[in-house]
A and B are shown apart, each in its own frame.
Chain A
Amino acid sequence: MNIPDDLKYTKDHEWARNEGNRVRVGITDYAQNELGDIVFVEFVEKGTMVAKGDSVGTVESVKAVSDIYAPLSGTIAEINDALEDSPELVNQDPYGKAWMVTIEVEDQSELDALMDAQTYDDYVAQEAK
């Protein structure tokens, strides 16, 4: 399973990448593999203010619907419209083309509270038991 070193991770199996005053968010390789074929993705509107833990959208596989949660507080700056037409990108490239939203963050320190790659790897190993 692919867990890039340069990202931060949440217990909901999302990743967050620090891009200055913005944080890019997506779901992990583990998450896409658990969900199976993604058939539908939708997001809240650009400009929506979100608190950490708020839903910023949903991903749906054939069998399940999952919320995507804001890993930290801020304002939705961008949403990845391409996924609405090509939801399969989530399975193919979860850390690249299938980024989901970027969030303009208020408090960078919220990022520090997330797991690093090694901690997330251990967390996944625990979950998979």
Chain B
Amino acid sequence: MKTPLFSEHNKLGARIVDFHGWEMPIWYSGIKSEHMATRQHCGIFDVSHMGEIYVRGTNSAALLNHVLTINVSPMQRGRVRYTFLLNENGGIIDDLTVYCIKPEEEYLLCVNASNAETDFAWIDSHNQIKADIENASDNVALLALQGPDSARILMQCLDFELDQIKYFNFRLVSSQAFGELLISKTGYTGAGGVEIFLDQRFANLVWQKFIAADATPCGLGARDTLRLEMGYPLHGNDINESTTPLEANLSFAVDLKKEAFIGKKSLEKQRQDGIARQLTGLVLLDKGVPRQGCSCLKNDQDVGYITSGSISPVLGKGIALCYLDRSIAENDKIAIKVRDKHLMAQVTRPPFVKGNVKK
């Protein structure tokens, strides 16, 4: 599959890789330079492969309250929240953002590309109350404009004042030139900026305008190192159907006070019983690159494993997300096994670098 911007990526000389069936740019000039451009100036990412699911109708909120871990009822128009779809065991089917377009009437879910069909089928199978659900992934493009210069570029290109909205809020903007835009002050980089949902027919135009205004085209490689520096989990790596939000240290996106939702009973039981391992971070003290699957050792005993790792372009050190036994405390020094070597690392709760988002 290709996004509407595929030919733009080729024109820019992008290295294209297969990402869960999508032909996506992994980098244009290089991961490090794109990473730093986003932290210091502004990066533009084509993330149109992400899935968009609309839930509409009088039962929309009731359906979402049944399948999501947060309570959507108090959400006001223009509010975004991070949440999960869980299975009965409390395992994470997907992590997603929910957009309240009209309370009790219309919501948009932005889900991971690789999970869009699974998510849709899951929600559909629990839709006994017959809310109207639509998988709009094929028609909607998504651009992430990220970094401290985003405000200037948004003003210049779309005449949109970024300061008028707060973090995790959005506005719908309608324009002759670009159609309907949903501009959301969210992102997966910690660099500040917006994500813009738009009709795919206008994707090329907006993309070109941002680049002409000096946004640096960035691929999925930089997106991954940027999110890792912030400690944002990646579904499929750090969280999956066999890990729960409690284990992943993401209980902020779970409302256990909500009457009922799929997976709630399992989470309550897990909270009572306690969890064995929890997701946290590592900063390497030795030189080297931590990788997914590396085991973590303390006094030669296995104490966990790495789920994502790379060199932080900002710190110039290896960083990783990992599940560690609860007996391991912050700042503890542990060893990680990288191929045949043991490298020393310090347990560090992410974010690993200071973000640029005002909450």
- A residues adjacent to B (C-beta < 8 A): 36-37, 39-40, 42, 60, 62-63, 65, 84, 88, 91
Contacts and interface: CB of A to CB of B under 8 A. Distances in A.
19 contacts: A36-B26, A36-B27, A37-B27, A37-B30, A37-B221, A39-B289, A39-B311, A40-B287, A40-B288, A40-B289, A42-B287, A62-B221, A62-B225, A62-B310, A63-B26, A63-B221, A65-B289, A65-B291, A88-B32
Contacts of A91: 30
Given A36-B30, A62-B31, 14 more contacts: A36-B15, A36-B26, A36-B31, A37-B32, A39-B289, A40-B288, A40-B311, A62-B224, A62-B310, A62-B311, A65-B289, A65-B291, A65-B339, A91-B30
Nearest to B312: A39
Most interface-central of B26, B288, B310, B311 (chain A CB within 10 A): B311
A60 B290 CA distance: 11
Contacts of B31: 36-37, 62
Contacts of A60: 289
Contacts of B221: 36-37, 62-63
Contacts of A42: 287-288
- A-side binding surface: helix, strand, loop or mixed? mixed
A91 B58 CA distance: 57
A84 B225 CA distance: 20
B40 to A, nearest CB: 17
Contacts, number: 36
A6 B112 CA distance: 49
A37 B15 CA distance: 12
A90 B311 CA distance: 16
Contacts of B288: 40, 42
A40 B286 CA distance: 12
Contacts of A65: 289, 291, 339
Interface of B: 15, 26-27, 30-32, 221, 224-225, 287-289, 291, 310-311, 339
A39 B31 CA distance: 10
A36 B287 CA distance: 19
Nearest to A33: B15
A117 to B, nearest CB: 25
Nearest to B222: A62
Nearest to A91: B30
A90 to B, nearest CB: 12
A40 B221 CA distance: 16
Contacts of A63: 26, 221
A40 B291 CA distance: 13
Nearest to A63: B221
A21 B151 CA distance: 60
Contacts of B289: 39-40, 60, 65
A27 B289 CA distance: 20
Nearest to A85: B287
B260 to A, nearest CB: 42
A63 B221 CA distance: 8
Contacts of B32: 37, 39, 88
A97 B161 CA distance: 48
B349 to A, nearest CB: 23
Contacts of B310: 39, 62
Nearest to B224: A62
Contacts of A88: 32
Most interface-central of A62, A65, A88 (chain B CB within 10 A): A62
A84 B287 contact: yes
B339 to A, nearest CB: 8
Nearest to B220: A63
A62 B26 CA distance: 11
Contacts of B339: 65
Contacts of A37: 27, 30-32, 221
The 7 closest A-B pairs by CB, nearest first: A39-B311, A37-B31, A37-B30, A37-B32, A60-B289, A40-B289, A62-B31
A60 B287 CA distance: 12
Contacts of B287: 40, 42, 84
B214 to A, nearest CB: 22
Nearest to B33: A37
Contacts of B224: 62
Nearest to A61: B31
A62 B222 CA distance: 9
Contacts of A39: 32, 289, 310-311
